[in-house]
Amino acid sequence: MSGGTNIVGGNTVMDQTVAVQGRITVSNSGEMRTALANALRTKPTAVSLDLSGVSYLDTSGLATLIEAVRIARNQGTRLVLSGMHDQPRYFLEITHLDRLFEIAGPEAGR
Average pLDDT over residues 74-103: 95
What is the distance between the alpha carbons of residues 11 and 40, in angstroms, rounded to a whole number?
A: 11
Reported as a single tens digit per residue, the pLDDT across 25-73 is 999 999 999 999 999 999 999 999 999 999 999 999 999 999 999 999 9
Tens of pLDDT, residues 20-33: 999 999 999 999 99
Report residue 86's pLDDT band, with 50, 70 and 90 as the boundaries: very high
* Residue 7 contacts residue 31 (beta carbons within 8 Å): yes
pLDDT at 74 over 60: yes
Strand locations in the chain, DSSP E?
Answer: 6-11, 15-24, 46-57, 78-82, 102-104
Cα 8 off chain centre by: 12
Quick one: pLDDT at residue 105? 76
- CA–CA separation, 33 and 27 (whole Å): 12
Share of the chain above pLDDT 90, in %: 80
**What is the pTM for the complete model shown?**
0.83
pLDDT category of residue 2 using cuts at 50, 70 and 90: very low
* Chain centroid, CA 29 distance in Å: 11
